[in-house]
Amino acid sequence: MIPFQNPTIYIGGLRIDEPITVLTDLIFCAVCFYAYYKSKRISNIKAIKLYSLFFLTTGISTLIAALIGHAFLYHFGKDAKIYGWVLGIFSISFSLFAVLNHTKSIIGNKNYKTLRNLSYLEILFSLICTFYFWSFIVVIIHTTFSFLFMVVPLEYLKYKKTKSQLSLYMIYGVGFMLIAALCHLLKLGFGIWFNHLDVSHVFMTLSVYSMYFGVKNFKTIKH
């Protein structure tokens, strides 16, 4: 049982568990899909394409989590959460390769290849641990590694060198994502109708929009 879990509601004969958590998940999904739709044609540069795919797959993984992991978990069973977790690992991985491609000119080809290979190993290790421990904590650790130890420092280097607005808003986005993770881990909520998951989803939405804003401004700056 989730602390302060949203009460179940019924629409006709349809049972929906955790309705506010589902709703905030769906709002987050909508922002992800909007970000993908608006960003996919901004540039043919690989980094932008990868960030765009990050938006798309994050939206899909969250949609699966909303429906299978929350609204209809009673039907699919707890083991079905693994689908959202695995896709979540892949979606975050797109941000890893996006930042590596975006900062390749700054870090150099040798460092790029080293970090790329390290990322492959970390993704594989995360997938193995997800199935072994069967826990969402693995996804959180993977996300933390990707954003705090890869995206932030690399995009900071890029911003310091070029004043890239993409880099700046990626860093802002990670800040919002960190707040979301803390809300989730520390169970910071307002009660049964707006619990820690719901609060977390609000900051996740701000995070993705901030990242999209950075991608949107990519075409207005020189790299």
Neighbours of 131 (CB within 10 A): 11
| pLDDT level of residue 3 (50, 70, 90 thresholds) | low
Residue 55 lies inside a defined structural domain of this protein: yes
Gap between the Cα atoms of 93 and 51, Å rounded: 10
Residue 82 lies inside a defined structural domain of this protein: yes
Locate 45 and state its tokens: 């540069």
Total of domains in the chain: 1
> Which burial class, exposed, middle or buried, applies to 108 when counting CB atoms under 10 A from its CB (0-12, 13-18, 19+)?
exposed
pLDDT in tens, 119-156: 999 999 999 999 999 888 898 889 888 999 999 999 99
Residue 202 lies inside a defined structural domain of this protein: yes
Locate 200 and state its tokens: 């977390």
The domain in which residue 167 lies consists of 9-220
Dihedral sign for Cα 117, 120, 126, 132, please.
negative
pLDDT in tens, 72-88: 999 998 888 899 899 99
| pLDDT level of residue 221 (50, 70, 90 thresholds) | very low
CATH number of the domain within which 32 lies: 1.20.1070
Residue 190: which residues within 8 A CB-CB, separation 6 or more?
Answer: 199
Residue 49 lies inside a defined structural domain of this protein: yes
